[in-house]
A and B are shown apart, each in its own frame.
Chain A
C-alpha cells in the first residue's frame, strides 16, 4: 500500500494545512454531535414526560361493529402472557353530566381498577388531595380533576349528581382531586369500573384496555401481538402521530443544516487539495514515470481527503460528545425545562458512528474531483521542461 504511505507523508509534510483542515471539519462535526446530543436528550425527556407517564403504550379496542369488549378477563390473561407487558388496565368509559348546587358540566367518566390503571398511567402521582384507592373502598365515589372541581365548586366529601340520557342517574361522592397539568383535568373523572357499569347498565364489559410495556419502543411489537388475538390494538405512535411528526421535522431540519456546515467545511479540504495538486504537478509526473498508474494517483489524493475527513470526524465527535457530557452534568441551579435543572444531553454511540461515517464519505467524495485532475495530468507535461 505505497499509496497510503505517500498520502500520509503528504499530509504530515504540509502540517499546517492538515491541522487547519482537520480543525475546520472537526468544529463543524462537533456542532453536529453536540446538537444531536441535545436533540436526542430533549426528545428522550419529552417522551419520558409524555409517552412514559401520560399515555398508554398500546390501546386495545372492541372488535369491529361492537361497542364493548365482552370477554375482557380472558383477553387480559392472554395479553399478560405477551413478552414485555408490565401493566394492563381495562376501562369502561361513559359520558355524563355532573351537577352540584346548580352548576353543571359534561364530563367523561372513566371506570377503572385503581391498581391496574396506576400500573399503566401512574395516576397516583397526580393526586393532590384524597386518594384514588378510596374509589375501590366506597361505592359511588369519584376522583375529579382540579379544574373540574373548581368549575363545580366541589371539595372532598361533597356529593355530585351524575346523569345522562339513557343512563341510571346516581350520586357520586368526591374522594380525591388530581392534577395532571393537561386539559383532561376539566373533563375527565375517575370512578370504579363497577360504578360506570351500573351507570351505563351493563355488566362484564369494558370499552378499552390500556397496556404498558417495559420499553416504549416495544409498543408496536406488543400491539401487533394483540392484533393476532383478534382485537384491534394500536401503539402510541399510531394514536399520537403528531408527536412523532413534530420531532421528526425538527430533527431532520436540524440535521440538514448541520450536514450542510460539514459539507462547507469539506470544501476547504477540496481547495487545499487542489492547491497541493498544483504544487505537486512535477512530483505527480515523476510518480507516473516511476510506474504509478493513473488509478493509483487518484487513490493517493482521495486517500488524503478521506483521512482528513476521518480525523476531522473523530476529533469533532469527541469534542462534541465531551462538551455535551460536560454541559449535561452541569447543574444550572434553575429550571432549564419544566422540572429539570440540567440539560438532558444524550450521547449515543450510533450517532457518533453515523456522523463520522458521513464526514468520511463527504470528504472522500469531495476528494474525487481534485484527485481526478491529478490523475489526468500527462506525464511529460507534468514533469515539464527542465
Chain B
C-alpha cells in the first residue's frame, strides 16, 4: 500500500510563534500518488504555502512526519536534504527567482551542475529543456531581458531539468495574465503526462484548479475537502 504513494503526510502540524502562536497546519494527513496532478486551494492564510514548503523540505514541521518515496524527511541530515531537493524535487514559485547574474541556459543548467553533471552534458540537456518550454531562441538572455511569462517558463525548465519525481508550484501563474497562465498550465500538464511526474500546485484560479486531477481545499490549516475532478484520461 505504502509503495503506491510518493508522498505520505501524517499528523503534520506547523506552529509559528513569536509570542502569539499561529497554527498554520493543524494535524494534516495526505497521501499523493506518483503522477498525480493536483491543486491546493484555500483562502489566504489557510496554510497552502506552509504545506508546500514542508513537502519541499524548505522548512521543518513542529510535529508529524513526511515520507517522500518512503523516506522520512524530518530525519534527514542537511546534506541529505540538499540532495533530495536537487534530485527529487522541483520548485516553481510565483516570482521566478532566477539567478539574475546567469542567462536562461545557465539558470536551467544549474540544478544539473549541482548534481555533478559535466558542463557540456548539462548544456545539452538544459537547452533541450528550454526548447521544450518554447524558449529555444532566448537561451543567452538574462532574466532582466525576458518577460514575466518567459522568465516563468525558464523557471519551469529549471524545476524540471533534473527530472524530479515531485514538482511543487506556489501560485506558478499568479503573476501572469490569463493567456500566459493558460500556456503555462498546458505546458505543465503536457510534461506531467509525458514524464509521469507528480505536480502539486497552489492556485487561487478556480478555472485552473478544475482542470487538475484532484483538488484539496485548506481552511485554517486543515484539509476540509479532497475531490477528484474527473479529468483523468
Contacts and interface: CB of A to CB of B under 8 A. Distances in A.
A380 B53 contact: yes
Interface string A273-294: 0000000001101111111111
A10 interface: yes
A13 interface: yes
Contacts of A383: 58, 93, 97
Interface residues of B, number: 33
B97 A286 contact: yes
B59 A378 contact: yes
B199 interface: no
A10 B100 CA distance: 10
A334 interface: no
Contact of A290 (B59, B86, B100, B174): B86
Interface string B73-98: 00000110011111101010111011
B67 to A, nearest CB: 19
A291 B93 contact: no
B102 interface: yes
A2 B110 CA distance: 8
Given A380-B59, A383-B97, A291 B91 contact: no
A282 B93 CA distance: 12
Given A379-B59, A386-B93, A386-B174, A288 B113 contact: no
A293 B91 contact: no
Nearest to B87: A291
B101 A10 contact: yes
B26 interface: no
B169 to A, nearest CB: 11
B115 interface: yes
A292 B79 CA distance: 9
Nearest to B86: A291
Q: Size class of A's contact patch?
A: 20 to 34
B158 to A, nearest CB: 8
A326 interface: no
Nearest to A375: B78
B58 A283 contact: no
Interface string B110-134: 1101110000000000000000000
A282 B87 CA distance: 21
Given A288-B58, A291-B84, 18 more contacts: A5-B113, A10-B101, A12-B101, A282-B97, A285-B97, A287-B110, A288-B82, A289-B58, A289-B89, A290-B85, A290-B110, A290-B158, A291-B87, A292-B82, A292-B114, A295-B79, A379-B58, A383-B58
24 contacts: A2-B114, A13-B101, A282-B97, A283-B97, A285-B97, A286-B91, A288-B58, A289-B56, A289-B58, A289-B85, A290-B85, A290-B110, A291-B83, A291-B87, A291-B114, A291-B115, A292-B82, A294-B78, A380-B53, A383-B58, A383-B93, A383-B97, A386-B94, A386-B95
Interface of B: 49, 53, 56, 58-59, 78-79, 82-87, 89, 91, 93-95, 97-102, 110-111, 113-115, 158, 170-171, 174
* CB-based closest 3 A-B pairs: A291-B86, A386-B94, A2-B113
